[in-house]
Amino acid sequence: MLLALISWPAHPLPAVADESGAHETIQPSGDADTDTANLIAAVSRSNVVKLVDGATYTINSTVAIRNPTVLCGKATVISGTRRELIQVVSADVAIRGITFDGNGKSNYPGMIRVYKGSHRFAFSDGVIQNVHSGKKGVGNLYPLWISVDGVNDWLVRSSRFQDISNHGDGKPIGKGFVGAFRYGDVVNDTNPLTPVTIPSNGRITGCTFRDIFTVTDKLNDIDADAIRASVSMPSDADVDVVLRIEDCAFEDVQKSAVKAAHIGGVVIDNCIVTNRRTDFPMSFGFRTNTTTGFRVHHCEIRGNVLRGVYLGNGGPCIVSDLIFRPNDPVKVGDSQGLVADSAVQLGARNNPARFVKRAVIHDVYVSNARRGIYGANCDWINVSNITLAKGVETVTMPTAAKRIELSNTPSPFEPLADTSPR
């Protein structure tokens, strides 16, 4: 019955960019001012702008793409500005094959920003790398932004996002938000923040996200998400913008691979999350706050990870065919201390703002954890086919919860004492 509450709207694949118009190849000049002027002129007059394969260009001011354009070439573009590098304000813009290098600095509020009305935007076969805030830090460091309002059928495909960091201010909440992709409100002086009127839709497929983290002095701010989807205005909470993330790999990301907050319509399918870092555990593979229709299918999460999936608030939501393989238990005296807490957590204990209602969780394998499924604060939950190989309790639910349905949730094959620090 709960399955019927969640539907996935069908959307056509993004259109292939038109390459029938004027073509232009830009030669590298070795001078940032000249490279920038040449690129600005080319995107204003040509439908296809090609960079020379193997060449390097330096861009030192914002390039606005205001017409349908294909920008392509197996070249490297080095950022020479702390402002936006590429501003997309037209439908049918495609960027292909280019490596964007932050040159050890960051662009605020983003390297590539896609504004309302830029339907069918496509970023493919590219790289975004070497983006760092420096000691000062910024409030939101995400190189690629796409507006949650008015960008239909966008696509990010077969690309790498790597070596991205922000300097936190040492506070649990503050500067430190960092990631590769931001699906949110894209605003500037001429595009003010307004309620979402045309919810965007698009997908990220076949991409790799690696080495994304927060650098901090006081070691208590590790707030990083490879992909972050959220809206800013309370009136837009749970707006169904549609984001599908499929066939992606996440490696050594702090604190989660994907975070969805105050947004609906996020689906994660066939993804692998791995954390090999020993200095910080990954807090969550995937996490949500207030959200509707959140779905995780056919995913594997492994390594130094505390929780596989955290459903913080809202619903309905589905988690299915999940494999959770955290690091092996560590020796604590004569006992074993569990590294991971749970494969799936629903809500937060003693916190009415973190409450999950209507969730379906099935076919979950957990190699070792304190719990397989931890219902901290929830109602109307259906749980089935949960396997906990080593641990304390396969399923934990609050005693006051209503409409909890459990089936095929055997005790752990190897019960372990709960010696882990909480």
By residue count, the chain amounts to: 422
Please give the helix or strand (H or E) that residue 132 lies within, else none. Answer: strand 127-132
* Cα angle 240-246-249, degrees, rounded to a multiple of 5: 125
pLDDT tens, position by position, 69-125:
999 999 999 999 989 999 999 999 999 999 999 999 888 778 999 999 999 999 999
- Lowest-confidence range among 16-30, 195-209, 286-300? 16-30
What number is the average pLDDT over the span 223-239? 74
Closest by CA position to 96, among listed 158, 45, 142, 54: 158
Phi-psi region of 37 (alpha: psi -120 to 50; beta: other; left: phi over 0): alpha
Look at residue 238 and tell me whether its pLDDT is greater than 50. Answer: yes
Question: 3-state class of 33 per DSSP?
Answer: helix
Residue 382 · residue 365 · CB < 8 Å: no
Look at residue 421 and tell me whether its pLDDT is greater than 70. Answer: no
Please give the helix or strand (H or E) that residue 94 lies within, else none. Answer: strand 93-96
